[in-house]
Amino acid sequence: MLHLFNKTIASPLPSAGRAVIENVSRRSFLKGTTGFVVALQLVPFDTAKAFDSYPTNGLNMPHGVVNDPHIFVAIDPDGTVTIVAHRSEMGTGSRTSLPMIIADEMEADWDKVKIVQAPGDEPKYGNQDTDGSRSLRHHIQPAREIGAAVRRMLEQAAADQWGVTIDEVEANGHQVVHKTLGDRIGYGELAEAAMALPTPARDDLDFKDESEFRYIGKGKVQITDLHDITTGKAIYGADVKLPGMLYAVVARPPVVGGTVKSVDDSAALAVPGVQRVEMIPGTSLGAKFKPKGGVAVIADSTWAAINGRNALEIEWDDGPHGSFNTADYRKELSASANAPGKSVRSQGDTEDALKNAARVLSYEYYQPHLAHSPMEPPAAVANAADGKCEVWAPVQSPYGTRVDVADYLGMDEKNVTINVTLLGGGFGRKSKCDFAIETAFLSKQVGAPVKVQWTREDDIQHSFYHTSSVEKIDVGLDENDKVIAWRHRSAAPSFLSTFVPDEGFEHEIEVGMGLENLPYEIDNISADQCKAMAHTRVGWYRSVSNIPRAFAVQSATAEVAHELGRDQKEFLLEMIGSPRILDWEAAGLPQKFWNQYEPYEEFPFDTGRLSNVIELAAEKSGWGKSLPAGEGLGIAGHRSFVSYIAMAVHAKVDDDGTVHVPRVDVAIDCGFVANPERVRSQMQGACVFGMTAAMHSGVTFENGRVLESNFHDYEMVRADNFPEAVHTHIVPHPFSVHATGVGEPGVPPFLPALANAIFNATGKRIRDLPVGDQLRT
């Protein structure tokens, strides 16, 4: 196990040496007595072993990681390098960043690189499930391996051609150069011979020194689709057109598990352009991503299909969830969270400590279900013919989609092709391929290519919703106001209910997102998950359970600080305590921290890194400065997707209760950063996404139906009031510090930082999300 802490990295020094990061005192820091110590020392240069150890959970994902250059790279005789992007692009930039890493490591000229999108084929490309903020985390090193292998193949081909040894040549700027003679051959000329070579053994690969990177870490490469996006040529789900294609819009049961009692389609069929009406079989909770079912109107244009659907007269049987009401549900969650649940962490004796505490401060926080509402509502095109089915869809998990479509249609997987378009935002919604399955099914039914377009109303009312939760936190203080106990009880329906019969308890993934891993240095900590049955389709939404957990913990921390008259930032740092690696055993966990399934030794929870980003955000924000009345700074820090992010939010609340955010200072420690420009854009986006969730988002169920329907009542932050100046401060690291998540971890700290800022501006504490009209006067 110790070798995991003893990785070699490319030396920042020009000499022939390498630096190692070494944990000089693993035992002691596990006991919590010292911090994580990083020591740089020179060891003998050993290229072949340079990247022996870069373990991530990527290897354990379904179909693992593929690093075969023949799968990912092709070179044309004219020198054009084609690189396969196998992850879905939904705005994070991974479709650019991973090929950029390959190109850099293979010494290709980015201007000569073309990117093609892989279809859903995990046996070939390895895992493609674009989710969990792991594209760079799992694939940065394999991308370097691919690039290094191609570079070596090109060098070998040149050496063969010149009749010299490979040591005498080196790749440089899209050509291979003879080191002493200065002869050069371009990549195009070498392509055929090079790509005919077998993949070099991994031990034969050598990697660039970080100082030699052309593109990695520079932030100068623009996203590959930038020109197409700005000229309207980029292709998203609904932009695919096939000859003879029909257009479908579906009326789905308003209540999950509902079925069609009766349908009168005569008016629909009378709408000009409407061709036919098809039934889609219904499903209930636990049907994974199978469509909800309903009635599809199929027409010769989208407009006709929409009008046709409006003309349908359907009587629904609502089924068992027809009495689901948000107002009652909230009470149910609250009752559950106010009693003991299933213990997920028990450190010390929290019950006893609370009983003997001088006083106990109690806070309850609530968040309703949320819809992801990507700008592009679900849409897909499919052509099922001759026992085969080809689909074009904006899906986060193209191979998962392939398996699900094949299963639904009763086809062999090899007869199903999933082409991945650009995703007009995903946020977890497009991990669920119900819309692609529907489309494939309808194409098969009508025997023609079909496009299914979801309307915005469909998107908001038939989502796989972000969990709703009540988080109850009780904090015990001794007579000296020292925090001696922290009890967190959470009642939130689990996304497990989407897959298996609901038992009312969460999956370890959800528990691992801020419930079991409170990083506070307090003697007695307990966490319970309290029973909560799902009554709608629950699915993950950008940042998942980290949102309500960070909101509750970081709000409660500021509340206690206020109660004690302490500075909120200082108190938060005091709660986190000494820099140490959290020890799951000492933390009273029955098993290891879930830790995003990453190997803990490689991705430990280092409280020093958390404190560091909190300090950094505070410092950059001018924490402690005096602000005019109605303005306040709030701070929060949270580790998720194995990244550490803190935000200092400056809020300004008008007399009428309107909340403005003139500035946010984001401090992010996400290990080595391959594309800082996209990290900054993700942080800006996370602040807007977080502000939407904090200020506006919530779907309301009444009799099982979602009341909200479009952007007038499911509001989004807009250009007239958004976090105006987001300053992102990136903690620099060498490549040896694992790249960690970026797409999601920016959202969780924003909500509590804003709530804390609002409190400091107004004295009003937000415990119920969204803020909505709570501050209106």
The residues binding ligand FES (CB under 6 A) are 91, 375, 425
Please list the residues that pair with 17 across neighbouring strands.
44
Comparing CB distances to ligand FES, the nearer of 368 and 425 is 425
Sign of CA dihedral 388, 393, 399, 404: negative
CB of 265 to ligand FES, least distance (A): 27
User: Which one of residues 57, 336, 469, 681 is an interface residue with other proteins (CB under 8 A)?
Assistant: 681
Using rule CB under 8 A, residue 619 touches other proteins: no
Q: Are 514 and 748 in contact (CB under 8 A)?
A: yes
Q: Which residues contact 670 (CB under 8 A, 6 or more apart)?
A: 643, 644, 645, 679, 730, 739, 740, 741, 742, 745
Using rule CB under 8 A, residue 347 touches other proteins: no
Contact of residue 716 among other proteins, ligand FES, none (CB under 5-8 Å per partner type): other proteins
CB of 234 to other proteins, least distance (A): 6
**Whole-angstrom Cα distance, residue 179 to residue 92?**
39
Is the backbone of residue 135 left (phi > 0), alpha (psi -120 to 50) or beta? alpha
| Residues 253-292, mask of contacts with other proteins (x by CB under 8 A) | -------------------xx-------------------
Closest CA to 491 of 548, 535, 547, 558: 548
User: Which one of residues 47, 445, 710, 774 is an interface residue with other proteins (CB under 8 A)?
Assistant: 710
Copy the structure tokens of residue 680. 């900054």
| Residues 88-127, mask of contacts with other proteins (x by CB under 8 A) | -xxxxx----------------------------------
CB of 663 to ligand FES, least distance (A): 22
CB of 392 to other proteins, least distance (A): 12
Q: Which residue has the tokens 């070498």?
A: 190
> What b/e readout covers 369-385, taking b as 16+ CB neighbours within 10 angstroms?
bbbbbbebbbbbbbbbe
**Whole-angstrom Cα distance, residue 80 to residue 113?**
6
Contact of residue 585 among other proteins, ligand FES, none (CB under 5-8 Å per partner type): none
CB of 180 to ligand FES, least distance (A): 51
Site for other proteins in 638-667 (CB under 8 A): none
Instruction: Give the dihedral of Cα atoms 97, 103, 105, 106; nearest 10 deg.
Output: 160
Using rule CB under 8 A, residue 303 touches other proteins: yes
Using rule CB under 8 A, residue 711 touches other proteins: yes
Q: How far is CA 770 from CA 136, 340, 552, 694, 714, in A?
A: 32, 27, 13, 5, 11
Q: Are 285 and 537 in contact (CB under 8 A)?
A: yes
User: Which one of residues 436, 679, 726, 766 is an interface residue with other proteins (CB under 8 A)?
Assistant: 726
User: Which one of residues 333, 371, 473, 686 is an interface residue with other proteins (CB under 8 A)?
Assistant: 686
Q: What is the H or E stretch that residue 205 is in?
A: none
Sole window of 67-75, 83-91, 171-179, 763-771 interacting with other proteins (rule: CB under 8 A): 83-91
Using rule CB under 8 A, residue 238 touches other proteins: yes
Comparing CB distances to ligand FES, the nearer of 42 and 229 is 229
User: Which one of residues 218, 456, 566, 660 is an interface residue with other proteins (CB under 8 A)?
Assistant: 456
Comparing CB distances to ligand FES, the nearer of 611 and 692 is 692
Closest CA to 347 of 508, 526, 210: 526
CB of 54 to other proteins, least distance (A): 28
Q: How far is CA 582 from CA 3, 31, 224, 495, 689, in A?
A: 19, 9, 40, 27, 30
DSSP 446-501: HTS-EEEE--HHHHHHS--BBPPEEEEEEEEE-TT--EEEEEEEEE---GGGGTS-
Using rule CB under 8 A, residue 548 touches other proteins: no
Closest CA to 21 of 10, 34, 31, 13: 10
HSE-CB of 229 using CA atoms within 13 angstroms:
12
Contact of residue 677 among other proteins, ligand FES, none (CB under 5-8 Å per partner type): other proteins
By CB under 8 A, how many residues form the interface with other proteins? 66
> Residue 732: exposed, middle, or buried by beta-carbon count in 10 A (0-12, 13-18, 19+)?
exposed
Sole window of 145-153, 172-180, 448-456, 652-660 interacting with other proteins (rule: CB under 8 A): 448-456
Comparing CB distances to other proteins, the nearer of 605 and 689 is 689
Closest CA to 212 of 13, 487, 51: 13
CB of 614 to other proteins, least distance (A): 23
CB of 340 to ligand FES, least distance (A): 43
Q: What are the residues binding other proteins (CB under 8 A)?
A: 89-93, 222-223, 225-227, 229-236, 238-239, 241, 247, 272-273, 301-304, 306, 373-377, 422-427, 453, 455-456, 677, 681-682, 684-689, 692, 710-712, 716-720, 722-726
